Chain A
Amino acid sequence: MDFLKIFGRENVSSKDIAKERLRLILVHDRANVSPKFLEMIKSQLIHMISDYMEIDEEGLEVKLTRMEKDKDITVPALVANIPIKKVKHLAKI
């Protein structure tokens, strides 16, 4: 997906865009994960982590994607991007 961005969408054939979009759609369909479910995970993550760190709740991103496990085998993966504002004192102990 990233390399698509680097070269700009104009240079990418529309079928590659279709295929990439499909792959992500199917990861969600197959895992049967709703956006609501992801929101639940997100809020619990915030709740848990805020004991230790101050995090940027707006910038927090939780998404389902694909990950290469072995060669030719991709598995669904849950990826969380959590921007940290400040580490709380407690965590240094």
Chain B
Amino acid sequence: MSEVIVITSGKGGVGKTTTTANLGTGLALYKQKKVVMLDADIGLRNLDVVMGLENRIVYDLVDVANGMCRLKQALIRDKRFENLYLMPAAQTKDKTAITPDQMKKLCQDLKKDYDYILIDCPAGIEQGFKNAVAGADKALIVTTPEVSAVRDADRIVGLLEAAGFEDPKLVINRLRPDMVKRGDMMDIDDMIDVLAIELLGVVPEDEKIVISTNRGEPAVADESSKAGQAYRNMIRRLEGEEMPLMAMENIEPSFMDKLRIFFGLKARAR
């Protein structure tokens, strides 16, 4: 059974592209899945740069949708990771260059040959968002522990529900354990409480993300990266493994927090 998962957030800059790159790479690398990462951010493409594949683009999403090339011609095979492919967005066009119906068709076609299709959704709630979610079966919502990002995430939850997505999952990105400890940053419970959706995982703020993005190598492949570990855990949950939030994800919890995690706050897959 193949699955189309859209990675969305509403607000820009919270880590949709990084999440897409790391989950996609991880599923191919650790689970031997055939994965396509699809950049739906037409006009502002970035997934290619984060993946270090920017020099290999010939055709793009819009070319495929408009029949200018065959599907396979636009898919860039990542030579470092077996079974990993990138479908880049067009850079010179805008969000209206494709339609939701074209996206649906494209996703259907990709599902025939690949296990996972991860769609990197553009920021915002307009046409680009509508295109990106059109062909998706499931949705992930990325947020950071900031009022603005959580507010936008809530808007997205509403829009996704209206579009028929049953239970979108939350990815909390760039959590800073030191600030949470001081009471100066919302913790995991706070955000789940406010948004009332299920958690897929928590990624701690990690300098290694910046370094790996500089190099165009996803952090998920770096065994020493804390953020990488968080992505590896998420991959296992996506694959249906029951994985409690690890101490590192919940970052030096108090005794009461540990109790709470033990009794309830388990991130379940599905």
Contact = CB atoms under 8 A, between A and B. Distances in A.
Interface of A: 13-16, 18-19, 21-23, 25-26, 29-30
Contacts of B106: none
Given A19-B194, A23-B194, A14 B151 contact: no
A19 B190 CA distance: 7
Nearest to B183: A13
B154 to A, nearest CB: 5
Contacts of B154: 26, 29-30
B151 A29 contact: yes
Interface residues of B, number: 17
B240 interface: no
B155 A15 contact: no
A89 to B, nearest CB: 49
Given A15-B190, A19-B186, A19-B194, 20 more contacts: A13-B183, A13-B184, A14-B183, A15-B180, A15-B183, A16-B183, A18-B146, A18-B147, A18-B186, A18-B190, A19-B190, A22-B147, A22-B150, A22-B151, A22-B194, A23-B194, A25-B147, A26-B154, A26-B194, A29-B151
B125 to A, nearest CB: 12
Chain A interface mostly:
helix
B43 interface: no
B108 to A, nearest CB: 33
Nearest to B151: A25
Contacts, number: 38
Interface in B236-255: none
Interface string B135-159: 0000000000011001100110010
B134 interface: no
B200 to A, nearest CB: 20
B194 A15 contact: no
B185 interface: yes
Pick the 5 closest A-B CB pairs, nearest first.
Answer: A13-B183, A15-B186, A14-B184, A19-B190, A18-B147
Contacts of B146: 18
B187 interface: yes
B183 to A, nearest CB: 3
A22 B150 CA distance: 8
Contacts of B186: 15, 18-19
Nearest to A25: B151
Contacts of A25: 147, 151
Contacts of B184: 13-15
A15 B185 contact: yes
25 contacts: A13-B182, A13-B183, A13-B184, A14-B183, A15-B180, A15-B183, A15-B185, A15-B187, A15-B190, A16-B183, A18-B146, A18-B147, A18-B186, A18-B190, A19-B190, A19-B193, A19-B194, A22-B147, A22-B150, A22-B151, A23-B194, A25-B151, A26-B151, A26-B194, A30-B154
A81 to B, nearest CB: 26
Interface string B177-208: 00010111111001001100000000000000
